[in-house]
Amino acid sequence: MPLRVLVLGAGFGGLELTTILSEELGDDVEVTLIDKGEGFTFGFAKLDVLFGHKTADAVRLPYAEISKPGVRFVRETITAIDPAARRVTTDGGGSYDGDVLVVALGADYDFDHTPGLAEHGNEFYSVAGAARLAELLPSFTAGHAVVGVCAAPFKCPPAPSEAALLLHEHLLARGVRDACEISIVIPFGAPVPPSPETSRALVAAFAERDIGFVARRRVASLDGARSAVVLDDGSELPYDLFLGVPKHRAPDVVIASGMTVDGYVPVDSATLATSYPGVYAVGDVATVGVPKAGVFAEGAGRVVARQLIAQARGGEPPAPYDGLGSCYIEFGGEGVARVDVDFLSGPSPTGTFQPPSEALTIEKQHFGTSRAARWFGR
């Protein structure tokens, strides 16, 4: 009988896992991939949407294009998860189960955690949020723009820094930068804590561009009546435009399943296995000890796939998840940089910085196009 694998979520982790199983096992696997979305969007593409370089439709890869042996894609919203039975139900009235269940549903945003955010602020971490801000940016010609993080952990830790640098470039190109102030607020002591060299480069870039850097603080609330960003120490920043990073947490349906601890699914960092037999969790929904970023979800999906292939063929188990990953960082006119980070092999995370260059700009483009080809056949 084919191995029945139920994959919840078609992000980096779910797509990589599904692709490997199809390539390696073919007719010996039946993968049901469930996602409520119309298509997949790379996280870095949201910045293209935010600054008007591309539309939301242009950066979306439709799930309808997925055509792989042994894979069935189902566009439905998951309404309940039973990890003990490895079964889910959906809003379409469907019920699906498998020999293996992989939860890869990512992280949702908790707007209620930050009073005033939903009413008076704007977030750029969703495609829809980036598109809304893209409509507002042309009317922002003077005042104070604040890029603010509401809580940690959050997806793609360099993204707030990228937003601030690219906002500077955007305003400069429009000839209004001198009339505008930019500040960035993050809860860490440095923009990229595992890599002091990367952090120094970003802080230097902030200083060169006259971008205020507020470290070790998070946005506690927004006071729309006074146009003030209130930080967790009670201090305030006036704002005319707010670009927020909302608090993250696992989706409600995952929390309701009983799998989470402190808002996320705990897993074995070597295997991504949960406490439920035959159930794994990969990517932003899980607590692994690595950042919530697509490249780490992809690596986790790869490890789970290799384990399932070994089980199906009776082979040796694969090497444990290594916690290695590379993140590209947009520096605006300087080009794209890269930080290579290692989160699990040593006593503490480490990172190596590659400064901005044209070669890395091309490399980042290849990162996207190669996955679009691999996952969607483009």
Asked whether residue 159 falls in the same domain as residue 287, the answer is no
Q: Which domain holds residue 13?
A: 3-107+250-321
68 and 85 both lie in a single domain: yes
Judge whether 348 lies within some domain.
no
Domain count, the chain: 2
Which of 106, 103, 107 minimizes the C-alpha distance to 281?
Answer: 103
How many angstroms separate the CA atoms of 213 and 103, rounded?
36
Q: Evaluate whether residue 368 is within a structural domain.
A: no
Positive/negative CA dihedral, 247, 75, 372, 53? negative
> Which residues neighbour 70 within 8 Å (Cβ) at sequence distance 6 or greater?
2, 21, 22, 25, 26, 27, 28, 29, 30, 31
For residues 188 and 99, membership in a common domain is answered with: no
My answer on whether 115 and 133 are in the same domain is yes
Q: How many CB atoms are located within 10 Å of the residue 308 CB?
A: 25
Kindly state whether residue 330 falls inside one of the protein's structural domains: no
The model's pTM is 0.93
b/e per residue 207-241 (b: at least 16 CB within 10 A): eebebbbbeebbbbbbeeeebbbbbeeeeebebeb
- Are 119 and 195 within one domain? yes
Same domain as 130, residue 97: no
What is the CATH number for 24? Answer: 3.50.50.60
pLDDT tens-place values along the chain, 378 residues long: 899 999 999 999 999 999 999 999 988 999 999 999 999 999 999 999 999 999 999 999 999 999 999 999 999 999 999 999 999 999 988 899 999 999 999 999 999 999 999 888 789 999 999 999 999 999 999 999 999 999 999 999 999 999 999 999 999 999 999 999 999 999 999 999 999 999 999 999 999 999 999 999 999 999 999 999 999 999 999 999 999 999 999 999 999 999 999 889 999 999 999 999 999 999 999 998 898 999 999 999 999 999 999 999 888 888 999 999 999 999 998 899 999 999 998 888 899 999 999 999 999 999 999 999 999 987
Statement to judge: residues 96 and 42 lie in one domain: yes
Decide: 46 and 124 in contact? Cβ < 8 Å. Answer: yes
